[in-house]
Amino acid sequence: MRRVYKILLLGLITLTFLSYIFLYSQTKIFLARHGQTDWNREGRIQGWTDTELNELGKKQAQALYNYLKRENIKVIYTSTLKRTIQTAKPFTKKTSIPIQNIKELREMNMGILQGHLNSEPEVRKELNLMKKNLNYRVPKGESYMDFYKRVSKFMEKILKKHKNETILIIGHNGTNSMILAYLLNISLEKAIKIYQPNNLVFTIFLLPGQKSPTVVWKYLR
């Protein structure tokens, strides 16, 4: 009986130790998109245009805070565009988590297409050219390759800086797809097909020795 007890006790200690290792030897990234803007609702290309959240977007920002308020987040990164900064506003009001506005996290510069509807024939033509040739730049904009280099350079830095910590990135649909391409080591051709709704949050777990991160997602209501 004592032997069985010792085996059970040893198993419990081992399980506790492994749980500790799992909890404190992982990097956890919450990857959120900014709340909705009027241009999102209208189907307009935003790019670097500095649009603001609409009323639904503000509610989505609050929902993000409610979802993450008990997490031990060390830092919040947003782009320098208002729609991401405003999405972080509930955290600014209710926590002391440092927030950094990073230009590398801006949405893709869509040049002359900014402000136009996605459904316009000429716009669709340009978008298709960009997808077929990842080095193709819309006039006054950047290519997917330019975009990926910008975002991946930043991600390389923060992964080194925040090893075994939990961080929140509030980005854009395009920016976040580049982040996923970098973290999951998937091709840009696949990454640009990823669509992240304004109320969806990815959680990415990076564990020591794991070949590929674990990714889960949740829709916020």
**Catalytically active residues, by annotation:** 34, 107
Residue (of 4, 60, 53) closest to 32 by Cα position = 60
Element (H, E) at 149: helix 144-161
Q: How far apart are CA 215 and CA 204, in angstroms?
A: 5
Q: Is the dihedral of CA 66, 163, 193, 101 positive or negative?
A: positive
Query: Tokens for 138?
Result: 């819309």
In terms of DSSP bridges, do strands 99-101 and 73-78 run parallel, antiparallel, or are they unpaired? parallel
Residues in the chain: 221
Residue (of 192, 160, 205) closest to 30 by Cα position = 205
- Packing angle, helices 144-161 and 173-184, rounded to 10: 60
Q: How far apart are CA 177 and CA 187, in angstroms?
A: 11
Q: How far apart are CA 113 and CA 90, in angstroms?
A: 32
